[in-house]
Copies of this chain bind each other. A is one copy, B any other.
Amino acid sequence: MATTSCFAALASDQDLVPHHIERRSIGPKDVAIDIAFCGVCHTDLHFAKNDWGRSNYPLVPGHEIVGTVNAVGADVKKFKLGQKVAVGCFVNSCHTCSSCAVDLEQYCLNGVTGTYNAASVDPGGFTYGGYSKHIVVDEHFVLRMPEGLDLAGAAPLLCAGITTYSPLKHWNIQAGMRVGVIGLGGLGHMGIKFAHAMGAQTTMITSSAHKAQDALRLGADGVLLSSDAAAMQAMANQFDFLLNTIPVYHDYNVYLPLLKVDGTMCIVGTIGMNAELNARSLIMGRRKIAGSLVGGIQETQEMLDFCAQHQILSDIEMIPMDGINQAYERMQHSDVKYRFVIDMSTLA
């Protein structure tokens, strides 16, 4: 296939710039996609800047991808030309391990292939992501966009959406349960929408009093200020489930007493850093701390269908492709409500 235009990080200390990459030829099971929109995840920024020490340049970020099928391989069964589709955080897995066998490709024991910066047989030796005009993906890892879902607002569902939907479904959140969503950012705002749509009594737990109004608008039934010790004490033993979306180092012990006996706090916000944990709160109520990573392909499709049914979208700020470096600046100050989405038609 010909080269296609994209925005890439060429080194860790430089801004993203226009670039050309080569996409692989369309194999028999591949779907070629014209990208309409791509969401901007904080992970993109970490990889562009090599914060985790494992970035390969040129690096094309982007794993919240929506667009239109422009070509399909000979053996493709699920998709046809012109169909609206989406791609999330990974584009390959082994298909044979115990995780893949139960549609949990994200936990592939042989290593899932990330949508960008992952070793692959693609030209260049690594996958390239969605800050691009086109992408070629095996049909197994392509999602069907349901009718009636705004494409731009849906883009962040592919990461921020499934990251919060999956644990809420796994822990069977439903009416009659009380859920706390800790932290109001890209993940937290989706967590509130999903917990509310699933029927749970939903509380926004935040250290920022000024976020209360927005939390209620997004669907929270109440707001709990984590800095208010008396309020936190009053809510001890009240929550069935806590979805912890805080993206920085923090003390888990502050939140664990909020859980009922047998309750779970699931971590989706931090990765790669230690936290303080005193097992006392776990032991004194058989409480659990768990983690969760995005969701499998089947569950991601279920999430998109759930969003269409309940008209759930991300709250977004649309930017042109050449606004990405300014967007990264703002993200570092948490200055976005609640997800930047790149309009890929602005990329020449």
Q: Interface residues, chain A, CB within 8 Å of chain B?
A: 98-99, 104, 107, 109, 170, 237, 252-253, 260-261, 264, 267-268, 270-293
A99 CA to B267 CA, complexed, in Å: 26
A278 engages B274 (CB within 8 Å): yes
A283 CA to B293 CA, complexed, in Å: 5
Q: Which residue of B lies closest to A252 (CB)?
A: B277
In the assembly, how many copies of this chain are there? 2
A284 engages B252 (CB within 8 Å): no
B261 engages A283 (CB within 8 Å): no
- Quick one: given A261-B104, A275-B278, A275-B279, are A292 and B288 in contact (CB under 8 Å)? no
CB proximity of A52 to chain B, nearest CB, Å: 11
Residues of B within 8 A of A291 (CB): 279-287
CB proximity of A290 to chain B, nearest CB, Å: 4
Q: Is the interface of A mostly helix, strand, loop or mixed?
A: mixed
Q: Which residue of B lies closest to A277 (CB)?
A: B277
16 A-B Cβ contacts within 8 A? A104-B261, A107-B284, A107-B285, A264-B288, A267-B283, A268-B283, A273-B278, A275-B277, A279-B291, A282-B289, A283-B292, A284-B293, A286-B290, A286-B291, A287-B291, A288-B289
Q: Which one of B107, B271, B287 contacts A261 once the chains associate, using CB atoms below 8 Å?
A: B107
- Quick one: given A98-B261, A109-B237, are A286 and B293 in contact (CB under 8 Å)? yes
B267 engages A107 (CB within 8 Å): no
A286 CA to B289 CA, complexed, in Å: 10
A290 engages B287 (CB within 8 Å): yes
Residues of B within 8 A of A279 (CB): 267, 270-271, 273, 275, 289, 291
Residues of B within 8 A of A281 (CB): 291
A288 engages B286 (CB within 8 Å): no
Q: Which residue of B lies closest to A237 (CB)?
A: B109
Residues of B within 8 A of A292 (CB): 283, 286
A283 CA to B109 CA, complexed, in Å: 14
Q: Which residue of B lies closest to A253 (CB)?
A: B274
Q: Which residue of B lies closest to A170 (CB)?
A: B286
Q: Which one of B264, B271, B278 contacts A280 once the chains associate, using CB atoms below 8 Å?
A: B271
- A277-B277, A286-B290, A286-B291 given; 15 more Cβ-contact pairs under 8 Å: A98-B261, A104-B261, A104-B286, A107-B285, A109-B261, A252-B277, A267-B279, A268-B283, A280-B291, A282-B290, A282-B291, A286-B292, A286-B293, A288-B288, A288-B290
Q: Which residue of B lies closest to A267 (CB)?
A: B279
CB proximity of A89 to chain B, nearest CB, Å: 13
Q: Which residue of B lies closest to A104 (CB)?
A: B261
B261 engages A99 (CB within 8 Å): yes
The CB with the most chain B CB atoms within 10 A, among A107, A170, A292, is that of A107
Q: Which residue of B lies closest to A256 (CB)?
A: B291
Q: Which residue of B lies closest to A260 (CB)?
A: B98
The CB with the most chain B CB atoms within 10 A, among A273, A277, A291, is that of A291
CB proximity of A329 to chain B, nearest CB, Å: 27
Residues of B within 8 A of A277 (CB): 252, 274-277, 289
A266 CA to B114 CA, complexed, in Å: 31
Q: Which residue of B lies closest to A166 (CB)?
A: B286
A5 CA to B45 CA, complexed, in Å: 70
A117 CA to B332 CA, complexed, in Å: 52
5 residue pairs, one from A and one from B, having the closest CB atoms = A282-B291, A283-B291, A267-B279, A288-B290, A277-B277
